[in-house]
């Protein structure tokens, strides 16, 4: 097997692509260095095309930037798959300090702060209390199992299995489980 190496072919310009991706994500050299495990001085040299990174370094940088290796090497974004599957174990989750509420983050991270959706599980006695979001923001809560109580705008409303509440969240608001059964719901947050 032979490898073609035409004289007119140059290695990919990783430096410019690296710098553009880092800046687009709002990362400093320090932050990317920490994420990728590559020294800040090496990153600076790569971005200025004063050093050619090894395949291992490019791989670590691509992982730290959450891009495909080909995108970092060729500067071209790969098209997303027609169907992207996120395994259950890869779905991030957050729990309240008392452990009675759990939010599984179902929406993609690039929509955070605009449009978010979660699977919410609230154990008996649990409450998800939130401070005000930006003016004009709304939540949509659909109960899939059990029942929940929503407080917003000075009112409190109970929801049963299958019901949906839509309410403004530009003031303090809360979702509570006042029953003796766990409840599961879909929570969608639309930021203004």
pLDDT at residue 53, rounded to an integer: 85
What's the pTM?
0.60
pLDDT at residue 76, rounded to an integer: 54
Average pLDDT over the chain reads 86
Q: How confident is the model at residue 82 (pLDDT cuts 50, 70, 90)?
A: confident
Give the per-residue SS3 of the chain: CCCCCCCCCCCCCHHHHHHHHHHHCCCCHHHHHHHHCCCHHHHHHHHCCCCCCCHHHHHHHHHHHCCCHHHHHHCCCCCCCCCCCCCHHHCCEEECCCCCEEEEECCCHHHCCCEEEEEEEECCCCEEEECCCCCCCEEEEEEEECCEEEEECCEEEEECCCCEEEEECCCCEEEECCCCCCEEEEEEEECC
Residue range(s) in the chain whose domain bears CATH number 2.60.120.10: 90-190
pLDDT at residue 5, rounded to an integer: 46
Report pLDDT digits (tens) over 31-77. 899 988 999 999 989 888 888 888 888 888 888 888 887 788 865 55
Residue range(s) in the chain whose domain bears CATH number 1.10.260.40: 14-74
Q: Which CATH class is domain 90-190?
A: mainly beta
Q: Which CATH class is domain 14-74?
A: mainly alpha
Q: Give percent of the chain with pLDDT exceeding 70.
A: 89
Which of 30-44, 70-84, 92-106, 113-127 is predicted with the least confidence, judged by mean pLDDT? 70-84
- Check pLDDT > 60 for residue 2: no
């Amino acid at each position: 097997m032979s490898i073609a190496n035409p004289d007119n072919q140059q290695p990919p310009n990783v430096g410019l692509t690296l710098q553009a991706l880092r800046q687009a994500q709002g990362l400093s050299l320090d932050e990317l260095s920490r994420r990728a495990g590559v020294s800040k001085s090496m990153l600076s040299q790569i971005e200025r095309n004063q050093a050619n990174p090894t395949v291992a370094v490019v791989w670590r940088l691509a992982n730290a930037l959450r891009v495909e290796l080909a995108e970092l090497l060729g500067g071209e974004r790969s098209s997303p798959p027609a169907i992207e599957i996120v395994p259950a174990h890869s779905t991030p989750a957050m729990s309240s300090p008392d452990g009675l509420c759990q939010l599984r983050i179902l929406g993609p991270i690039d929509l955070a702060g605009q449009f978010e959706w979660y699977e919410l599980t609230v154990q008996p006695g649990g409450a998800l209390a939130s401070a005000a979001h930006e003016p004009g923001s709304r939540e949509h809560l659909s109960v899939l199992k059990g029942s929940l109580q929503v407080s917003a705008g000075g009112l409190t409303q109970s929801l049963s299995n299958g019901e949906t509440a839509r309410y403004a969240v530009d003031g303090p608001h809360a979702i509570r489980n006042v029953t003796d059964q766990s409840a599961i719901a879909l929570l969608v947050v639309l930021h203004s």
